């Protein structure tokens, strides 16, 4: 069982939304300079827990993430590199919101970094529309993966 503490600030959250067979990590708000260090620590903790539990896949739901700066993206790059070089990598399925145009453009390099590890899935149109507003309730329903 994962014990991820997550992150909660005034403008950002990273929470373990589901600890089932495939854990779902949900990010929301704005990933700016204030959350870089906690994000990096939390992704390292997530990696260690996934490895310890021999979990083969994790979903990262970005449906309600409105901004992520390059330093936060670098934290994801570090995490993906650790997964790719761990000897027994697990899959990272990133569910992105097509209404947040920066997401697909910014996430595709992560997928290219480790195509056997990172998979990009577009959130279904109705869920993405709901997630494009600040009072959204996206559930991460997938309307078809880009790699899968």
Instruction: Give residue-wise pLDDT tens across range 3-15.
Output: 888 999 999 999 9
Among 119, 67, 131, CA closest to 93: 119
Q: Which residue range forms the structural domain that includes residue 85?
A: 7-145
Domain total in the chain: 1
Q: Has residue 52 been placed in a domain?
A: yes
Q: Is residue 2 part of a domain?
A: no
Domain CATH for 15: 3.30.750.24
Identify which has the larger pLDDT, 125 or 84. Answer: 84
Q: Is residue 1 one of the residues assigned to a domain?
A: no
Tens digits of per-residue pLDDT, 90-100? 999 999 999 99
Q: Which comes out higher in pLDDT, residue 117 or 87?
A: 117
Q: Which residue has the higher pLDDT, 126 or 96?
A: 96
SS3 2: coil
Calpha distance 36→84 (Å, rounded): 21
Each residue of 60-74: pLDDT tens digit?
A: 999 999 999 999 999
Residue 129 clears pLDDT 60, i.e. is over it: no
Would you state the structure tokens that stand for residue 120, as one six-digit string? 């990009």
The pLDDT value given to residue 106? 94
Helix (H, G, I), strand (E, B) or coil at 28: strand
Mean pLDDT of 76-89: 94
Whether residue 88 lies inside any domain: the answer is yes
């Amino acid at each position: 069982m994962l014990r991820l503490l997550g992150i909660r600030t005034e403008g950002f959250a990273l929470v373990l939304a589901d600890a089932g067979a495939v854990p779902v990590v949900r990010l929301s708000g704005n990933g700016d300079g204030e959350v870089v260090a906690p994000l990096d620590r939390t992704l390292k903790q997530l990696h260690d827990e996934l490895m310890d539990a021999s979990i083969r896949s994790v979903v990262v739901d970005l449906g309600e993430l409105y901004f992520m700066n390059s330093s936060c993206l670098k934290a994801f790059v570090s995490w993906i590199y650790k997964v790719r070089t761990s000897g027994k990598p697990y899959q990272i399925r990133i569910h992105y919101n097509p209404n947040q145009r920066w997401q697909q453009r910014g996430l595709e390099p992560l997928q290219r970094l480790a195509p056997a590890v990172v998979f990009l899935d577009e959130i279904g149109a109705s869920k993405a529309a709901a997630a494009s507003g600040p009072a959204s309730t996206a559930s991460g329903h997938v309307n078809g993966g880009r790699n899968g």
